[in-house]
Chain A
Amino acid sequence: MAVDSLIELRGVNKYYGQSHVLQDIDLTVSRGEVVVVIGPSGSGKSTLCRTVNRLETIESGRILIDGRPLPEEGRGLARLRAEVGMVFQSFNLFAHRTVLANVSLAQIKVRGRKKEDADRRSLRLLDRVGLASQADKLPAQLSGGQQQRVAIARALAMDPKVMLFDEPTSALDPEMINEVLEVMRQLAREGMTMVVVTHEMGFARSAANRVVFMADGRIVEDRTPDDFFTAPESERARDFLSKILKH
């Protein structure tokens, strides 16, 4: 196995009642790698993403982050989550706090930074995602694309080792998708380790090192984007691609 693996899933199984939503998942993500997870809805790709920081618990198997097993609920888990940035489909910005406070809050409460230091850093990050001028607004006053960029800045403020993106553009109007993807592309270029669940095939082609194709709770293919998009091996992947790439 690669020595420099940052995320390692071994034989992971998860059930929702009777349905077996993750079936014997093995997946390794190396440092600096961008892995895009695609697949039809209900295939378990979001669930997979959420197991990595234990927002979803698993029934069996092992998950290692940077060589250490994922801790149980408690302080250890909170510490680990601070190292793993997460961006949600529905942004989940703290609705009662300003944009700046959203980015600063966890830096102050979890990292113990002074408010001025945290705010300075937050403004730098907001500037990087092009939103420094919106720092004093409430999340509801921003467009979806802007909110998602704030959410990315909020996650980056913790200096995470890896970023998880759970369908970050699925709730956005088409014209706003690109501004978010551009921020993500830039992150990928800078060498951030990323796991991205998405339906944006263009992003998968241009930014991913590997494409993981899931169907019915299993990883069906795990290959480079070129290989996957030009010559999918499985019938399931061919069928999926033919449906989404037609138009």
Chain B
Amino acid sequence: MDVLTQNFSLYARGFLGTLELTVYASLLALALGFVMAACRVSPVGSLRALGTVWVTVLRNTPLTLLFFAVVLGLPRFGLVLPFQLFAVLALGCYTSAFICEVLRSGINTVPVGQGEAARSLGMSFGQTLGGIVLPQAFRSVIPPIGSTLIALAKNSAIAGAFSVTELLGTYKPLNEMGYGIVWTFVWIAVGYLIITLAISGLFHVLEKRYGAAR
């Protein structure tokens, strides 16, 4: 208990760091995943190819490697950003590939006839996707999107290795100060649990409210 009370501000800073990474990267992943899913089901061949390449590259790259690519690679092209922003970019892009595939599988659960009916009424691709298909797809993708965002929250720990303030990284200074390793990690775990359980709770509510009735 001492390790928490005596170093509360250190823990709090780490916790907030992880929370910020999770929230910003989630928003980026959801937005990018949405765009890429739209690309993958679009009638335009080049957009479909873009979506496929995006998913294939990002989903199959180890996240740590992606962090290296972003943190070491982008500055070579003159793009120098704070480390935290790099981390959000890497995490968000990586997770967007998974979100894209979840959304796409949701889109595939909507019967083809729904889209055909919308198109036969003269609705454009965007109107059909946004007004008819996605709202129905949304109901079935709530649980897997929740899981993906929980994975994102935990993956954010990798950012600690790249000089970003986040929860897992707090063990290093605490360790150097001589605190016992077990309790240090117990409180770190509690911090992650607060975030991941909050995400589960949020998606539980969403599912209750919008989920497919059965």
- A residues near B (Cβ < 8 Å) are 53, 55, 73, 75, 78-86, 88, 90, 92-96, 105-106, 109-110, 151, 154-155, 158
Contact = CB atoms under 8 A, between A and B. Distances in A.
A51 B119 CA distance: 13
B interface, over-half SS: helix
Contact of B43 (A73, A90, A105): A73
Contact of B135 (A86, A88, A96): A96
A106 B121 contact: yes
Contact of B121 (A73, A90, A95, A110): A110
Name the residue among B43, B116, B121, B123 with the largest chain A CB count within 10 angstroms: B121
B180 interface: no
Given A73-B43, A105-B131, A109-B131, A92 B119 contact: no
Contacts of A96: 135-136
Contacts of B113: 88, 90, 92
A155 B121 CA distance: 7
Contacts of B124: 75, 78
B127 interface: yes
B114 interface: yes
Interface residues of B, number: 18
Interface string B5-49: 000000000000000000000000000000000000001000000
Contact of B122 (A73, A90, A93, A110): A110
Contact of A82 (B122, B131, B132, B136): B122
Contacts of A80: 122
Nearest to A158: B121
Contacts of A158: 121-122
State the 5 A-B residue pairs at the shortest beta-carbon distance, nearest first.
Answer: A82-B122, A92-B117, A106-B121, A92-B113, A86-B120
A81 B117 contact: no
B118 interface: yes
A94 B132 contact: yes
B168 to A, nearest CB: 41
Contacts of B136: 95-96
A94 B116 CA distance: 11
A88 B116 contact: yes
Given A105-B131, A109-B131, A81 B114 contact: no
A79 B113 CA distance: 19
B123 A106 contact: yes
Nearest to A107: B121
A86 B131 CA distance: 19
Contacts of B123: 78, 106, 109-110
B177 to A, nearest CB: 56
Interface string B102-141: 0000000001011011111111100100011001100000
16 contacts: A53-B120, A78-B123, A80-B122, A81-B121, A85-B120, A88-B117, A90-B111, A92-B111, A92-B116, A93-B117, A94-B132, A96-B135, A105-B131, A106-B123, A109-B127, A158-B122
Given A92-B117, A93-B117, A94-B117, A78 B43 contact: no
